[in-house]
Amino acid sequence: MSSDPGSSGPGSPSSASSAAPASPRPPSGGHAAVRGREPLSRLAPLALGALGIVYGDIGTSPLYALRDCFSGEHGIAPTPDNVLGVLSLVFWSLLIVISVKYLAFVMKADNRGEGGILALLALVLHRRGSPGGEAGGGARRMVLLTLGLFGAALLYGDGIITPAVSVLSAVEGLAVATPLFTPYVVPIALVILLALFLVQHKGTGGIGRVFGPLMVAWFVTLAVLGVHELVKNPSVLQAVLPTHAVRFFAHNGWHGFLVLGAVFLVVTGGEALYADMGHFGYRPIRLAWFVLVLPALLLNYFGQGALLLREPGVASNPFFHLAPDWALYPLVGLATAATVIASQALISGVFSLTRQAIQLGYWPRLEVVHTSASEQGQIYLPGVNLALLLGVVAVVLGFRSSLALTAAYGIAVTATMAITTCLAYVVARERWGVRRSLALPVAAAFLAIDLGFFGANIVKVAHGGWLPLSLGVVLFTLMTTWKRGRELLAEKLRTGALGLRDLLESFGDTGPRRVPGTAIFMTGNSDLAPTALLHNLKHNKVLHEQTLFLTILTEDVPHVPSAERVTVEDLSQGFRRIVARYGFMEDPSIPDILKRCREAGLPFNVMSTSFFLGRETLIPSKKPGMALWREVLFTWMSRNARSATSYFRIPPNRVVELGAQVEL
């Protein structure tokens, strides 16, 4: 995947990486993949860390999942048969969707140890050894690309709704203690969320050290609360039999199917679990799940079910009614802390997703701040953080309760999970060589479950489900417009372009007059003469003694080995070509590239070096390519993108920009 830093104009191909394939690399062997093979002595600390980052979302679902089943928009009466039926659905959903689908199958589809839908999409788009050949590859590739991008766009909706619904559901525990707190639930939740977003610029390193132990306390509390009620009514454990789920659907029909939309809330963290795989590796994540998370969740859900069998009247908030009166306020405090951790994981995930989109060429350049000198994954995007804050505040003020918000929750995640299943099937067939007779039935079974959940959630559209879907459509439009606009711009710039070797041959033995110093021309196509170079020759009629052509490529892997980062090629007559490669989880850096060039024996002094960048002024037109409104949108995005100078960390006092007008 290539990056074209040949122009400073943000609408130019230089603005970020594109999806045009560079040299394909193996999908395994990255740093996170090695973490997956950690010795047993290191699994426990990594599993502890995974509790705070990976399982925050799914770990806070007991706050609202069963409540929504029995008192939500499509809630069902908490009769003994219904309680056992819902618990059976919860039990088998956790086992099949999380334990089997994600932990046993999907997490094997890693891109050098990294997970998430964009990492999976990058893996899918490089087809190798496809049993079906390349027939229909163009249309097929477009379908897969569209699915992957739309799934990524939908995750932004999850990043807005999860903090709102989680924190609201925790603070609502105060209203269980006394109705006097009811008017203050929304203001308290807003203060907590505002504080959470305001501290993002400080990074999560210090806070992260307490995430794991605090989540251990949370899951232990879930288990203790559940066991305390289970011992009073152990008969509820018979819900593990799938016959109760079958009878539930048979008895309740369409209403029972709609309740499945609330049952889905117990597995909403599955996609986040996959996206965070690169932080810890799959073995610590699996260890944490089977040793602590899954048992604690099941004990708590069954404990809530036992309570509902004994006291059906507590269906409006069964979780907090599990606690004795003296423990209610400490439980609200612990639940709030757990939901803040869950929110932090989603916020960090959106930051990471945005950086991947920038590097892969689907989003304009944005400011990326590294909040840790040692952990490159700890990043902060001020613009994205502000957008998330405004979105979360609007959602809290608009819905005002977690019960109302759960009507909007789930539909985006179900769609993303179905897309992940489809992409994972392609990986299994084309990269792992799994026979269709084996891969298709497994994928079809998972897809049937995903679509069942999606169908049950689709009725939520009128009650709030329109929010994440609308947000997904808007972001998908922005991402595809940016990508297509950059492709059109690159085509325009290539029209009439001069080959680099042809230009060098035209200089003969002497060429233009040379002046002291070094000039670096940034270009996205290392075989073509940079436009800025041609403008410089046309107007200044000189060349520097040392002229370098720099191309930055973004590969379809998360990380590029240090030894393969920079290559230098001598083109004679003082001309050299430099190619720098980065993964889509890495940030290109001119200082880093120049340092590596010096280590490779390329002499130059930064203070006598000039960086020549092209800046294009974009003019929308009615010419074929994109609809006029998309060209106007692309031009607006271009003007608001971060400049190449700051994005690539080029010394601003060493930059020379040469402009041109380009009609789209």
Domain regions of the chain by residue span: 36-461, 493-663
Alpha helices in 276-410 (DSSP H): 277-280, 282-288, 294-310, 318-321, 328-359, 382-399, 402-405
Confidence of residue 13 (pLDDT cuts 50, 70, 90): very low
Averaged pLDDT of the chain: 83
pLDDT of residue 418: 93
What does the pLDDT look like over 129-163, one tens digit per residue?
A: 443 333 345 778 888 889 889 988 988 888 888 89
CA angle 16/660/2 to nearest 5° reads: 20
Assigned token pair, 127: 């087809």
Gyration radius (Cα) of the chain, Å:
27
Side chain identity, residue 28: S
Largest CA-CA distance found in the chain, in angstroms, rounded: 94
3-state secondary structure 150-178: HHHHHHHHHHHHHHHHHHHHHHCHHHHHC
Side chain identity, residue 563: A
User: At 41, phi and psi to the nearest 5?
Assistant: -65, -20
Tell whether the model's pLDDT for residue 246 goes beyond 90: yes
Side chain identity, residue 502: D
Q: Which DSSP letter does residue 279 get?
A: H
Inter-residue contact 459 to 262 (CB < 8 Å): no
Side chain identity, residue 227: V
Rounded to the nearest angstrom, the gap between the alpha carbon of residue 342 and the centroid of all alpha carbons in its chain is 15
CATH topology of domain 36-461: Amino acid/polyamine transporter I (1.20.1740)
Confidence of residue 5 (pLDDT cuts 50, 70, 90): very low
Contacts of 289 (CB under 8 A, 6+ apart): 55, 98, 99, 103
User: Residue 122 and residue 362: Cα distance in Å, rounded?
Assistant: 12
Strand segments (E) across 473-574: 513-522, 542-554, 566-572
Q: How many CB atoms lie within 10 A of CB 231?
A: 10
Strand segments (E) across 397-541: 513-522
User: Residue 68 and residue 71: Cα distance in Å, rounded?
Assistant: 5
Confidence of residue 580 (pLDDT cuts 50, 70, 90): very high
- % of the chain at pLDDT higher than 90: 36
User: At 436, phi and psi to the nearest 5?
Assistant: -60, -35
Q: Which DSSP letter does residue 312 get?
A: G
